[in-house]
Amino acid sequence: MTWQPRGHTARLRYEFVVDHERDPQRYDSRMTADWAILRAEKMIPRASVTARKSLHSRATLEFQLPAGWAVATPYGSVGELRYSIDDPTRRFDQPGGWLLAGKIGSRNDKIGTVRVVVAAPAGDSARRQDTLAFLKFTLPRLQEILPQLPPRLLIVSAGDPMWRGGLSGPSSMFLHSDRPLISENRTSTLLHELAHIALGIRGDEESDWIVEGLAEHYSLETLRRSGGISEQRYKQALKHLSQWAKRSPTLFGSHSNGPTTARAVLALRAADAEIRSATGGKASLDDVARKLANERGTVSLVRLQKAAQEVAGRPLRSLEREQLAKPVSAPTAARDG
């Protein structure tokens, strides 16, 4: 749709449907009589603006809610139910990220430099206090690797029939109330989504594996470096990943599923080892991830190779397309040569 505002004031009015099923009967956007969970992008769809260069935008988001409702957003408030939206990367400021409106139970704490808010519908079984305690010892470790965490972080939780996983957005995430902080296979959906937020990158049409691989790698690394899992458990997690990775026919695709993400973690770990050996242990994949997170935007294999080369001082063999395309070998079966 194209909208052409005219005169001193112009108004655009529209209605939209909140409910959306990601899988049958599993919602990633939903409104009930007591609460609503949605992404701001749903409410105000992404727009591109054609305007004179000298023009800029000022945006304020204001809610009118039923009596007894409150709202949790990733933005700082500038008044009762009023939020100032400022996205320095865009000329036209638009709200983005997760929102929760309704009868809300929330807890918040300052962890390092980040104000963390955990919010869920009142009466929901979400573990608000456990989540803050878990982040107290893990978030600072992740921030050492990726300092680009936003000043405010909103974690929105709710139970069924919401989608049973985690979904990240700008400065915010949705996390199903039933998700454990650490799964039986030693991965953490919470830390995985947090890594996505800190990285702030997306893949081009064949590079989702880089985005998902980095998020999963740093979720696991954060657990290990914070002492949340022992070396032995960490090795078991890697073994599990290498078994799973065998089911991925290729890294390159528009959507990285579980096996492909497992394979991506192994590929990135190989790159990490090569950088460490090329620099005598002075640099690692952490420097590459930090570089990508600093520049943000869309990543491609070429961009990853370039960032890794700048860190390692030479091109990495482990990131050559030919190497990455090789099938994952069974760890026990000796290959000829």
**Restricting to residues 105-124, which ones interact with Zn ion according to CB under 5 A?**
none
Measured from the CB atom, is 93 or 212 closer to Zn ion? 212
Stretch that binds Zn ion, among 107-115, 124-132, 207-215, 311-319 (CB under 5 A): 207-215
**Closer residue to Zn ion (CB): 105 or 165:** 165
Taking residues 255 to 284 in sequence order and writing x for each that binds Zn ion by CB under 5 A, - otherwise, the string is: ------------------------------
Q: Give which of 204, 309, 189, 202 is closest to 258, Cα–Cα.
A: 189
Shortest spacing between CB 93 and Zn ion, in angstroms: 26
Which is closer to Zn ion, CB of 215 or CB of 293? 215
Nearer to Zn ion, 154 or 215 (CB): 215
Least Å distance, CB 196 to Zn ion, is 5
Nearest-approach distance from CB 208 to Zn ion, in angstroms: 9
Stretch that binds Zn ion, among 76-84, 91-99, 153-161, 214-222 (CB under 5 A): 214-222
Which of 215, 285, 299, 319 binds Zn ion (CB under 5 A)? It is 215
Task: Phi first, then psi: give them for residue 29, nearest 5 degrees.
Answer: -160, 125
Strands 166-169 and 172-176: antiparallel
Q: What's the order of all strands across the beta sheet hosting 82-85? A: 59-62, 82-85, 77-79
Choose between 115 and 202: whose C-beta lies nearer to Zn ion: 202
Least distance from Zn ion to the Cβ atom of residue 194, Å: 11
- Binding residues among 134-173 for Zn ion as defined by CB under 5 A: none
> Which range in 50-58, 114-122, 212-220, 284-292 contacts Zn ion by CB under 5 A?
212-220
| β 152-158/172-176 pair status | parallel
Q: How far is the CB of 28 from Zn ion (least distance, A)?
A: 14
- Please report which helix (H) or strand (E) contains residue 241, including its range: helix 231-245
- Cβ of residue 256: shortest distance to Zn ion, in angstroms? 8
182/215 with CB nearer Zn ion: 215
CB of 211 to Zn ion, least distance (A): 7
Give the number of residues in contact with Zn ion, rule: CB under 5 A: 2
Q: Which stretch binds Zn ion (CB under 5 A): 34-42, 131-139, 209-217, 223-231?
A: 209-217
Q: Is 199 a binder of Zn ion (CB under 5 A)?
A: no
- Taking the complex as a whole, the smallest distance from the CB of residue 166 to Zn ion amounts, in Å, to 8
Which of 192/311 has CB closer to Zn ion? 192
Site of tokens 């397309």: 321
Cβ contacts of 121-126, under 8 Å, gap ≥ 24: 121/34, 121/35, 121/158, 122/34, 124/157, 124/158, 124/159, 124/177, 125/159, 125/177, 125/178, 126/157, 126/158, 126/159, 126/177
Q: Return left, alpha or beta for 219; rule: phi > 0 is left, psi -120 to 50 is alpha, else beta.
A: alpha
Tokens at 53, concatenated: 């260069």
User: Which of 335, 308, 337 lies closest to 320, judged by CA?
Assistant: 308
Q: What are phi and psi of 270, to 5 degrees?
A: -65, -40
For residue 183, what are its two tokens? 């799964």
Helix (H) or strand (E) holding 197: helix 189-199
Q: If you search the block for the tokens 């000329």, which residue do you land on?
A: 91
- The residues that touch Zn ion, with contacts defined as CB under 5 A, are 212, 215
